[in-house]
Structure 1
Amino acid sequence: MSYDGVGPRSVTRSVAFLAAGALAVPLLAGCGSDDEGSKPLAAQDIAAAPRDRLADGGTLRWAVDAMPQTLNTYQADADAGTTRVAQAVLPAMFRLDESGRPQRDADYLDSARVVETEPKQVVVYRLNQQAVWSDGREIGAEDFAAQWRALSGKDSAYWTARNAGYDRIEKVERGANDLEVRVTFAKPYADWRSLFSPLYPKDVTGTADAFNDGARKKLKVSAGPFAVQRTDTKDKDVVLTRNPRWWGHTAKLSEIVLHEVPRDKRAAALADGTVDVADVDPSEADRITQAAGAQGSLPFQGPAGGRTAAKALRSWAVLHGSDEEAARHERRALKKQRKSLATYLRQQEALRDFEIRKSLEPAYTQLALNGADGPLADERVRHAVAHALNRAELARVVLQPLGLPAVPVGSHLALSGQDAYADSSDALGGQDTAQARALLADAGWVPGPVTAQKKGEKAAGAEGHPSDGSPDPSQSDDGTYIVGVNDHVEDNKGHDDQRANRQQPGHRGSEDGHAGDGGARQLAQDGRPYAQEHLKQGGAPGAYAPKGTAAPAGAGAKAGPLAKDGKPLSLRFVLPSGPGSDTLRKVADRITAMLGKVGIATEITKVSDESYFRDHIASGQYDLALYSWPSSAFPATDARPIYAKPVPGADGSLNVQQNYTRVGTDQVDQLLDQAVATLDQGEERDLIRKADARIWATAGSIPLYQRPQLTAVRKDLANIGSFGFRTPVYEDMGYLKKDLKASSSPAA
């Protein structure tokens, strides 16, 4: 599964202000010009082709992470598969363009506009007269009204995940004729374009029973280019077929099958024809690129590779030795190896029919800092963490090897290309080692003796490296210990397999804080901290000096094992351990090295994908964590629960909504409330940017990079791939006619 994405907008986005001089923020307005976000960092990559170049018919098999548990996007367990179905089969009044901005969908709407603002806001939707449900009934005011009542929050019998915006509506009624729907708001609502997308028929939203259960496994009535034919839990398929009552461009494909395939099985599924399209991780994308001939497909790069001359000699000796039992084991191992190699080579041959289409997801990965308790409850320590980070380097580590723009994300509330985007990171400031150390000292974290390693912990060194008898680099000449990285793996039963790796804070392996530059080029790595490669003497020029050498100027501010009230400064860094988590672990290693330079130690704990978000992020059992939020075209609405100031409940519990960092301020709440209530788009944008600057200033979360979007697609498919911001156009997807090639240029 994809562990670090919390979920799309169709799901509920599941996921004290200091005035001290050192932390005061002089400018809390968004920085940058008005057109700063006018261009996305990467265009969509879908092999765009005109409809007349596409064949009529064909089945598209599309990999999804899991079978949708519900087809109702407004329920709590909706997921990305739910969204994909809804986009293909249901009306949406507005869809997103290539810049992530809402645009009217002409298949459903002739127009939609605010016709009154006083005494109340009134929006009139004028529907396309051809728009009908699959049962022949016209789409109309009854459907809008039923959805409003279901999602308004006034009737607790409806099990809804969200009601934002619908709770501001006073009434929904028929307009001047059957094609008009008139919506009157009790409170002004800037994000009114977010409503009724998707729109369900009144058959689904008209009663609580129908809403809660009627649309979980089937949709009897729909109104898109496709319709749900069946959901097959045995084969893990959702089958969509052409909607015969669709009034727009006829779908080129006869059928779309959404098929559940785990992330680590997708290359094999593509090779054996199980699926034609799949989002893949960087390692599998690299494999598919090699198969296509870009770098040549080499057998030793496969699962049966790594057979060195020494291993071959040892194998020959075992086979021809006197130990018959060992020889039998070796013959079985060789047979299994040959079989694995043959399978790998067959798959590589089949993968030549695919290509990788790449863009950037409308989502960003952040470092979350849990400010509920512990050292990070002090804003000065959170600021120190932020100043220790080189965000540009972290973006390069992930995106540069993929050939994607390696630009750090500058906003919590929008991405480059969207109206509200502006880089407001100056409200917090960039990497500044001296400032980080000063903040830590001001917070009471100073160098001092630290309790020795616990019994059973290994000395410093890369994981899996045998001891060579060299001195323990975690111990200094004066007998104190360097607090480093403890690497834990928790299984599903809760038992820990503890592996301790000691890293010396302040060690410099290279200019960017890692051992060499190979890691920036190779995404598939183990979980080894980068600085550990050169901890031994001689590994890093200048890292060690003979006794008696004078300390350089400024050495008094050097990083060391920091402590306060006898306790070391160590942060628990929780990471997922499942397939596809290599990139996050790589980023975590870099962050660990950066924090070590200012004297902040980390304890890395790896947990199963299943428990990562539920048992750690949402429950607050972490200090540092990496996870992603999707961007939204409506940040004033969607970001409110993510950054809302936690409120104590009557029972003493803390209501955090989706603010899993537990850091919030009244100012952020007020700015977002003002933004959602203004009908002036310029004013709304400015308020959102000001709110973002305030969020930066609290340092509860640090945006790092926009997530890569890598999609493996059969070469003869067009208008499908990495969509970026834009809502897919399902009726235009299809197979190229024979002897035609898809355009290599991304869609305009």
Structure 2
Amino acid sequence: MSHDGVGLRAVMRSVAFLTAGALAVPALTACSSEDAAGKPVAGQDIAPASRDLVADGGTLRWAVDAVPETLNTFQADADSATSRVVGAVLPSMYRLDRNGCPQINPDYLESAKVVETEPRQVVLYKLNQQAVWSDGREIGAADFAAQWRALSGKDSAYWTARNAGYDRIEKIERGKNNLEVRVTFSRPYADWKSLFSPLYPKDVMGTPDTFNDGARRKLKVTAGPFALTKVNRKGGEVSLTRNPRWWGRPTKLAEIDLVAVPRDKRATALAAGKLDLAEIAPSEAERITLAGQDKGSTPLQGPGATITPAKALPKAIAKNAGQQSALSGFVVRKSLEPVYTQLALNGSEGPLADERVRRAVARALDRQELAQVVLKPLGLPAVPVGSHLALSGQQAYADNSGALGGQDTAEAQALLTDAGWVPGGPVTEQKKHDAAGSRGKAAGSPGSKADSGDGSGDDGQYIVGEDNKPGEADREKKDPKDHSGQHQQKHSRQHEDEQAGKHLDGKQYSRQGGAPGAYAPKGTAAPAGAAAGALAKDGKPLTLRFVLPSGPSSEPLRAVADRIAQMLQRIGIRTEMNKVSDDSYFKDHIASGQYDLALYSWPASAFPATDARPIFAKPVPAADGSLSVEQNYTRVGTDQVDQLFDQAISTLDEDEERALVRKADARIWAAAGSIPLYQRPQLTAARANLANTGAFGFQTPIYEDMGFLKKGAKVSASPSAP
């Protein structure tokens, strides 16, 4: 799981699944162009080139967030850098093509199919006879069996992050010869294709010691187009070099260096010649586009975009002409990640424990408008996501948002009225203060106002729909002397019944950490359709705590949050915006339930029946009296959804599995615990002469085809069609 700009993908991998936008795994079945799931919203953009146009040799310097803490992708602290290493050096039985469809990886696998269903499901793998580990040993049944034993969950000495699917295996045997592996399941398992990708050697999986510790810092035995030759933690670099025992197509590159560079420093590293390839933020993408408009870079300005090149280029960039000139050697390759950003609604307590209030929040949202905020300025398709469990182009995808309904202000207001929230009412300043912060301060919660996380104190919070921060009235009563700006606050408090139609002035909003200009100056007329007054119930206002990361790379997320706050204000819901540090955002707020509203992202799994179940499972009481939520951080779930997932994972009828997954998604929409908004943009800066790499979209990177073009060779830099 991740939120835009904050690296939390290891959290997703720790329990649910391995994709997380980094290590691709196969989809459910072979894709059909006639399937209702359609095609990916955006195609990949990797500057495809035939191998004869790519030069032999060279080193690709590829940015990662950090040197991986572990090289064992089945451990809880594995991250996207772990997956990038593993994708280059270890076997994977399947890989995705650019349409998100699974293709058998012929370098390792000749075929794999279900050969028996009664009395047990049996899958027969036939391996490539040339496939060997770097020590010369054949890849075979012993490796499959060792991985099953390590990940089955039967031996607690293995510190595994997941065992889904492996816990259903009964036995693994050698087939007719060394190239055949028979896997027998104790219970039917629809998502059997998710297993053994990646496949580790028995040297890693064979004992708890080698699994827990041996593979964290090094991999002695590998079997990919590249070999792992160096992990330099102090220097922040991982080196991969050609595998001399590789039996497939030779790698074009001689070496790939994964270089740890923070995202906010990547433009500088690119300009300094320290990187050739890096995922970047929209602001850096704009700089590169402007620097190299004549170098083949695709424009970021979509039709009707509000950002213009003149506005997008900060004065600081204009002053640094040398760095800007160096960036002209790069192009921006863009697509959509197989990841969607959602609005999460914490249903465990407070107003959102009432399904009617959650549904009202959802019905207040214009998801098309929110998608446009992020994607339209980048020239990417601004298409709202219609499923929690898959993305357009994947087999399980279907737009089930109709189960909840689209934007409807009148319906949202009716739901709130039905829930007992009505305009006006006796609301004191102290009560408003308590409503805004009490849940975050309970029992010393890390989500309290005192722990905004970015060292800003009060400046980390502000309430949309209020003219002052909580508690200012109390401070003024203690000190009746007039201070700068207090006359405006006094004036605003005389009109509390109209606060939902007013806005923070630009200066105050900027001081509190918000984006200048996000709200009109004080005195501006309320927008059409704004609520006549904020809602209250039992003397307390309807105020929801909106927790957001404060880092610079999360700026697009905060822009979306501001727009959501305006939409909620129109139906009488105030939002308390609470900015916290990126490091504490997930662990101290999302995972611990210290929020009402939050924005974070989930990767779309190729195996939703297995991988998405923990995300939407109904929370249950644990033995110690706490609530076990697995990965359901909204705390909203139903027995029916759980049953549909269980049925889907236990059928071997692929059509039935898809139908059950889609039905489960419709029920998840109806519960209104999370609202999918848009597919996350994928922007990659690439040296202009790099081929077969960039913004991969759904596709599994093919490491052996990456490289630098031969002198004089040219390829199109425009995105390929889906």
TM exceeds 0.5? yes
TM superposition shift of 1:433: 0.6
State the distance in 2 between where 1:672 and 1:242 align: 42
State the distance in 2 between where 1:78 and 1:143 align: 21
State the distance in 1 between where 2:543 and 2:558 align: 18
Are residues 1:536 and 2:523 paired? Answer: yes
TM superposition shift of 1:650: 1.9
Of 387, 396, 411, 1:420 maps to 396
TM superposition shift of 1:346: 1.3
Structure 1 residue ranges without an equivalent (≥5): 16-32, 306-340, 458-485, 516-524, 544-554
State the distance in 2 between where 1:588 and 1:647 align: 30
Q: Secondary structure at the match of 1:216?
A: helix
Which deviates more, 109-118 or 97-106? 97-106
Q: 1:526 to 1:48 in 2, by over 3 A?
A: farther
The answer as to whether partners of 2:389 and 2:665 remain within 8 angstroms in 1 is yes
* Residue aligning to 1:173: 173
Residues matched between the structures, number: 642
State the distance in 2 between where 1:247 and 1:393 align: 50
TM superposition shift of 1:34: 7.3
Q: 1:696 to 1:297 in 2, by over 3 A?
A: closer
* Residue aligning to 1:603: 576
State the distance in 1 between where 2:464 and 2:659 align: 46
* Residue aligning to 1:293: 293
State the distance in 1 between where 2:606 and 2:432 align: 51
Structure 1 counterpart of 2:332, which letter? I
Are residues 1:383 and 2:370 paired? Answer: no
Are residues 1:231 and 2:259 paired? Answer: no
Identity %: 67
Are residues 1:690 and 2:692 paired? Answer: no
The answer as to whether partners of 1:134 and 1:223 remain within 8 angstroms in 2 is yes
Are residues 1:151 and 2:113 paired? Answer: no
Q: 1:456 to 1:146 in 2, by over 3 A?
A: closer
Q: 1:500 to 1:640 in 2, by over 3 A?
A: closer
* Residue aligning to 1:657: 630
Q: Secondary structure at the match of 1:574?
A: strand
Q: Secondary structure at the match of 1:182?
A: strand
Which deviates more, 717-726 or 1-10? 1-10
Counterparts of residues 523-672 of structure 1 (less than 5 Å): 527-528=514-515, 532-537=519-524, 558-672=531-645
Counterparts of residues 102-121 of structure 1 (less than 5 Å): 102-121=102-121
Structure 2 counterpart of 1:394, which letter? L
Q: TM-score normalized by structure 2?
A: 0.84
TM superposition shift of 1:561: 1.4
Q: Secondary structure at the match of 2:585?
A: helix
State the distance in 2 between where 1:526 and 1:490 align: 12
* Residue aligning to 1:397: 373
The answer as to whether partners of 1:395 and 1:407 remain within 8 angstroms in 2 is yes
Which deviates more, 494-503 or 650-659? 494-503
The answer as to whether partners of 2:240 and 2:255 remain within 8 angstroms in 1 is yes
TM superposition shift of 1:293: 3.0
* Residue aligning to 2:478: none
Of 719, 735, 738, 2:692 maps to 719
Q: Secondary structure at the match of 1:532?
A: coil
Of 9, 12, 16, 2:15 maps to 12
Of 378, 391, 410, 1:434 maps to 410
* Residue aligning to 1:314: none
* Residue aligning to 1:550: none
* Residue aligning to 1:705: 678
State the distance in 2 between where 1:84 and 1:406 align: 28
* Residue aligning to 1:92: 92
Structure 2 counterpart of 1:139, which letter? I
Q: Secondary structure at the match of 1:171?
A: strand
TM superposition shift of 1:5: 6.1
Are residues 1:449 and 2:425 paired? Answer: yes
TM superposition shift of 1:503: 2.9
Q: Secondary structure at the match of 1:215?
A: helix
State the distance in 1 between where 2:65 and 2:702 align: 21
TM superposition shift of 1:177: 0.5
1:141-189 residue CA offsets vs partner (Å, 9 max, x unmatched) = 0000000000000000000000000000000110010000000000000
The answer as to whether partners of 1:93 and 1:105 remain within 8 angstroms in 2 is yes
TM superposition shift of 1:527: 2.4
Structure 1 counterpart of 2:245, which letter? R
Select the structure of larger CA radius of gyration: 1
Counterparts of residues 116-131 of structure 1 (less than 5 Å): 116-131=116-131
Q: 1:97 to 1:52 in 2, by over 3 A?
A: same
TM superposition shift of 1:488: 9.1
* Residue aligning to 1:247: 247
The answer as to whether partners of 1:488 and 1:499 remain within 8 angstroms in 2 is no
TM superposition shift of 1:258: 0.5
* Residue aligning to 1:317: none
Q: Secondary structure at the match of 1:136?
A: coil
Are residues 1:358 and 2:361 paired? Answer: no
Which deviates more, 634-643 or 528-537? 528-537
Q: Secondary structure at the match of 2:694?
A: coil
Q: Secondary structure at the match of 1:703?
A: strand
1:100-159 residue CA offsets vs partner (Å, 9 max, x unmatched) = 232211110000000000000000000000000011100000000000000000000000
State the distance in 2 between where 1:500 and 1:688 align: 40
State the distance in 2 between where 1:577 and 1:428 align: 31
* Residue aligning to 2:52: 52
State the distance in 1 between where 2:100 and 2:454 align: 39
Counterparts of residues 141-290 of structure 1 (less than 5 Å): 141-290=141-290
* Residue aligning to 2:648: 675
Structure 2 counterpart of 1:58, which letter? G
Q: Secondary structure at the match of 2:552?
A: coil
Q: Secondary structure at the match of 1:368?
A: strand
State the distance in 1 between where 2:9 and 2:695 align: 17
Of 385, 389, 413, 1:409 maps to 385
The answer as to whether partners of 2:464 and 2:577 remain within 8 angstroms in 1 is no
TM superposition shift of 1:248: 0.4
Structure 1 counterpart of 2:102, which letter? P
State the distance in 1 between where 2:311 and 2:461 align: 33
TM superposition shift of 1:449: 3.4
State the distance in 2 between where 1:57 and 1:183 align: 40
TM superposition shift of 1:731: 0.3
Q: Secondary structure at the match of 1:497?
A: helix
Are residues 1:503 and 2:465 paired? Answer: yes
State the distance in 1 between where 2:271 and 2:527 align: 47
State the distance in 1 between where 2:17 and 2:568 align: 28
TM superposition shift of 1:742: 2.4
The answer as to whether partners of 1:488 and 1:606 remain within 8 angstroms in 2 is no
Q: 1:382 to 1:679 in 2, by over 3 A?
A: same
TM superposition shift of 1:7: 1.8
The answer as to whether partners of 1:46 and 1:719 remain within 8 angstroms in 2 is yes
Kindly report the root-mean-square deviation, in angstroms, between the aligned alpha carbons of the 2 structures. Answer: 2.8
The answer as to whether partners of 1:10 and 1:83 remain within 8 angstroms in 2 is no
TM superposition shift of 1:38: 2.5
* Residue aligning to 1:482: none
TM superposition shift of 1:303: 5.0
Q: TM-score normalized by structure 1?
A: 0.82
Structure 2 residue ranges without an equivalent (≥5): 19-32, 300-307, 434-447, 467-497, 506-511
State the distance in 2 between where 1:47 and 1:440 align: 51
State the distance in 1 between where 2:617 and 2:708 align: 46
Which deviates more, 1-10 or 242-251? 1-10
TM superposition shift of 1:542: 6.9
